[in-house]
Structure 1
């Protein structure tokens, strides 16, 4: 091993005082009207600089911190510093520290504020939305700017946190039926210049700067540190009042850069992974990766997530590139969150974007999900079975009439658990079950960082580009598979209004013209919204579709014989306590109609030919049942 790397790792293992808790280490600024205490965990003596403004101007005071423990430095400044700004400097450049809770414009300086003053009226009675099981969730992933910026949205607070407080936005989500909003990174990120709110700028936000402060560009005044905090809380409060959970997308696996990051400027070499030759490991594909197995990064992640839960009442977390983090850290996070609220849902990407400088078998990859009870992972198995491989936008899957993916789709429908009728040797990626419970699988067909469903269908199914009716049929068929699966269903915002992104695969910095939702589509394609809403409400109303328990799924989910590009299953014997006895779901991706055999008797049709109605669309007799091409059929007795 490289001597420099070995030395850095040894130092990182020894830097903590046994008498200082993680919470104390990361409580870098404690304000009261009479005095403010500053604390930093750093390897050498920091200088504290105090400023009148969040940017520009010179420091009006410089103070050396005093050592108060192993690598712990503190100073208490008398007087009322509210409204002032600060930085630390150990000789690597100024930084607001690693755990600033309020910052000035563009996040270069920490802000001294009274956090109690950021609470909106009624915040003390705001509560996370309870859920019996993650299986009850229906997740809607959105980007603040995408959702509201277009004039067609009719929303007042365009591109802002407050858009999600507006009646029209809340009404839309409730009519659709989703009960959890996954907001793309909403912490303070680096790529948008907050000082130019009038200049159109776009980024998804996967370039972390300050992890524990809301992003200023989504606020009305990035220069006023308390405003972004209050507006974020108002958003959470409004969604909670509507019964909608708020899931925060967290990006602990890398920073915007390494050399100028708050981590590196505060405690060099302590937060990142390095290769044997001393170069930064790059499992994130962004030039660096953090080291969750090291105590500082491990504790930072735990304290950060608990802070968002306590201060902002967050209901869940989506962990970006979870496969970069180690299994033990993810289990520790789950344990700490359980102590606060076991209903907080944690899920992530069970992969990395490159090779990590840490043993693969210790990383929180999808295959390691059985070692992480209470943690879920996205299923690329069902995603790519439906639409085709991530690696080739133009290659079709089940939806495009490609045979041989039926077993992969069945695995996803079962929640990626062991099921006697699923042959994992024929599953596209996972050659064995990766979930011990169906709630450990997130079912989806599209999300932000890929072609949206419409674009993918147009790219991979030639006819869908020119035949709008076929496009809609396949779109609805895809989501029928997602919303009738036993996993936790997840959808990208705007799919319910047939959004497109002009064919752009990776639109992380594309303009609004590519990423924005066109709300006019709700009038052009009302049948699409009705279908999505009908599916979601059908799922929520019937426990058979979300049993949430592997044994129940194995007992009550029975697959019918598969055909090429056709998967059918029965949810039998009042599955999960459902009032319906037997529910049949048939997914036919063939262009032509197909027949399946079900027991004779009278059945009520609740989904057929692009319509969903729980009360019934008509009745039919069992026996040989015909299913139209590129459509789903759901019926019950």
Structure 2
């Protein structure tokens, strides 16, 4: 069955073709299908068009209709198992929904956007990424955004949030938590983060200009004159503004499961193999959210391919990050990569390589995906929070990039995304506070200073790590997720409040901390990216407390306009609580970046270095 279905689905261009008026629906179980069209979802008059059943060689059902001058909004009415149901199009490029729990959803007749121009190449050798939630960046009153919590506010606010913050931190790219359409309000609560997708091709209204203008029960995206405003255009405009500023954009996509809302068309139309099931026929739940998708199914596979192509071609993203990618089968993962690279050869493709059902970083990396490295995260957290914090070979391996992956040592750093904090779990600063047994932030000034120092040390270690790195919003200034009722909160996916919103009212000390974080990224770009791009494997040097990674460099590693091209670059760190020394081979080492004290002495044919406690430094040796 699979090959025939896949060929049929791919050739038919499912969904609405736009204002040409061609509609196609894959509904294998339907006995009859009608196309319902209205000029507004609440219009009294509607046009009904019977859809024609087309059967492929495998006897599966494809329904088609051709109309003149589509009316703007549409749904399908189907007979399924003796019942009549109405659903929006699972291949909707845009939808409108009522802003309330259980509100109706109508598909919008939407033409493809013109192909996006330009973009930013994000090299897996060294890219630095800032993970953010669009709404959290500008929803706090201190953000002073023109349209709070919106795509627009990320580049139009009075507090230096969003794009300006990324420029201040000098990162290469923003990674946006999910932006596909999802039901914000459900019976079980608020889907704040967006990890309960509804329509994979459509962009969410949650970050549109009209979100706050729409009253409860109103139709999202539709203005007073009945004109529809597609949030995909606002997202694309944001990406264009980021590109103009030299910042790339990655989006987090959730293609392993769907939302639990009863009106989700993938649930209603499921013939029994669109959603994954266990050996007892029950819905699989490797995602922890229920309603896992069966990516082995050709229909679902085609939908995911259409989604990734639209993101790169029409929306103009520079990369994607697959949530819980382990759930997807290898054939689909390979096909998604092929489709993405066909339309965007320099696409950055990132995958979260685990789920409740498995852990597959090695296999996903072999398939060509850059995988989140929990090994790096745990190694750094353990090193920072251990009582003695000795220099360790494990930490050297972590900072050299991808040591845990069964790939070529010269290339494996490109396939491990190194991070120490993300949207999931406790912020690093809160983990430090809990380890120090601080009941609440700022209750113990001495321990608050220790926490800040540890988070700064973690940032510096990330900045000198080979391969792609990611930091999370608020990580640069030791942000906390604490409240009086719950203490330190681990997961805040359902909190659209000040627990998640970023407070931009920084005191002078915090401003200095952010500036130093940006300086580290600048030093990374200036001195480390050139050697990270080479295939040279770093050499580790370990002392009692201080450790170093040495990278050889040739003149070809450096920019053409650089007058002096170092022959070697060294990254040093001392996690101990006292200054300590280390011997490096050769003489002529000079310090190019070290916020804390470091001294270099000649010691015969070698160099002796003394590095301050809890500090990181970058040195070079000229030819």
TM over 0.5: yes
Please, which of 150, 153, 156 is the counterpart of residue 166 of structure 1?
A: 156
- What secondary structure is seen at the aligned counterpart in 2 of 1:510? coil
Shift of 1:482: 1.4
Gaps of 5+ in 2: 211-219, 223-227, 483-487, 559-564
1:382 is the counterpart of 2:368 = no
Please, which of 137, 143, 150 is the counterpart of residue 147 of structure 1?
A: 137
CA contact (8 A) 1:283 1:324 kept: yes
CA contact (8 A) 2:531 2:553 kept: no
1:278 corresponds to which residue? 281
Please, which of 297, 302, 306 is the counterpart of residue 299 of structure 1?
A: 302
Give the direction of change, closer, same or farther, for the CA distance of 1:433–1:125 in structure 2 (3 Å limit).
Answer: closer
1:73 is the counterpart of 2:65 = no
1:341 is the counterpart of 2:344 = yes
Shift of 1:269: 1.7
1:450 corresponds to which residue? 425
Once the two structures are superposed, residues 418-453 of structure 1 have per-residue CA deviations (whole angstroms, 9 ceiling, x without a partner) of xxxxxxxxxxxx586698531111011101111112
1:626 is the counterpart of 2:610 = yes
Give the direction of change, closer, same or farther, for the CA distance of 1:488–1:576 in structure 2 (3 Å limit).
Answer: farther
Q: Which moved more, 1:453-462 or 1:333-342?
A: 453-462
Give the direction of change, closer, same or farther, for the CA distance of 1:406–1:272 in structure 2 (3 Å limit).
Answer: farther
- What secondary structure is seen at the aligned counterpart in 1 of 2:547? strand
1:392 corresponds to which residue? none
Shift of 1:620: 5.9
2:485 corresponds to which residue? none
1:528 is the counterpart of 2:513 = yes
Please, which of 220, 223, 240 is the counterpart of residue 221 of structure 2?
A: 223
CA contact (8 A) 1:320 1:349 kept: yes
Aligned equivalents of 1:573, 1:80: Cα separation in 2: 63
- What secondary structure is seen at the aligned counterpart in 1 of 2:498? helix
Aligned equivalents of 2:95, 2:401: Cα separation in 1: 42
Give the direction of change, closer, same or farther, for the CA distance of 1:252–1:114 in structure 2 (3 Å limit).
Answer: closer
Please, which of 450, 453, 456 is the counterpart of residue 473 of structure 1?
A: 453
Alignment TM-score, normalising by the size of structure 2: 0.84
CA contact (8 A) 1:162 1:235 kept: yes
Which structure features the higher share of helix residues? Answer: 1
Shift of 1:274: 1.2
Shift of 1:113: 3.4
- What secondary structure is seen at the aligned counterpart in 2 of 1:31? coil
Aligned equivalents of 1:515, 1:275: Cα separation in 2: 35
**Aligned Cα root-mean-square deviation (Å):** 3.1
1:209 corresponds to which residue? 198
1:128 corresponds to which residue? 119
Shift of 1:489: 1.0
CA contact (8 A) 1:239 1:245 kept: yes
Give the direction of change, closer, same or farther, for the CA distance of 1:602–1:574 in structure 2 (3 Å limit).
Answer: same
Gaps of 5+ in 1: 1-11, 194-199, 389-396, 418-429, 612-616
1:327 is the counterpart of 2:310 = no
Aligned equivalents of 2:451, 2:555: Cα separation in 1: 33
Report the number of matched residues: 572
2:75 corresponds to which residue? 86
CA contact (8 A) 1:45 1:73 kept: no
Aligned equivalents of 1:431, 1:102: Cα separation in 2: 40
Aligned equivalents of 1:165, 1:113: Cα separation in 2: 29
Aligned equivalents of 2:434, 2:596: Cα separation in 1: 22
CA contact (8 A) 2:391 2:542 kept: no
1:101 is the counterpart of 2:93 = yes
Shift of 1:380: 0.7
